[in-house]
Amino acid sequence: MNKLICPACNKILSVQTVGHLTVDFCAKGCGGIWFDNFELEQVAELHEVVGEVLVQLENKSPIIQAPSETSDKRLCPRCENTKMMRHYFSSKRQVIVDQCSSCNGYWLDSGELSKIREETAKSTSGEGLHLDATLLSYIYNLQIQITKKSNSGGHSRKE
């Protein structure tokens, strides 16, 4: 099997097994982690012990600083010559991740896993409920308006 190269600092990634999960970690460079398809979902929530171990691993790396906000798309370490997409991890728009459109793997820079886990904890603890309730109310009112218009033949009437 070919050694994977870090998309952020070009060091060789180390294979790291934590519990049931094996990830590729930039131990001698920037401290980033490569997650193959469906691996990130297994550690994103705070109750996942494996995720906490990986966060501690991130914190102990020597971290040679890689550029955090680069406009250049990074190459997927798994798929040869495939550039990854940069996007927000969730609708909260707090953490930008790199994802390969070919293999669906994720590259997280050092510190991003802990931010994702915090973000996930906030959304499950109820902090995001107000926004969700507001959005649902808006959608409900919009649906009522559409229904009224379709019942009146497309013309809105004043009551």
pTM check: above 0.85? no
- pLDDT of residue 3 exceeding 50, the answer is yes
Model confidence at 87, in pLDDT bands (50, 70, 90)? very high
Question: Which of 80, 88, 81 has the alpha carbon at shortest distance from 108?
Answer: 88
pLDDT at 47: 72
What are the pLDDT digits (tens) for 11-67?
Answer: 999 998 888 889 999 988 899 999 999 999 888 877 777 787 787 776 665 555 544
Asked whether the beta carbons of 47 and 121 are under 8 A apart, the reply is no
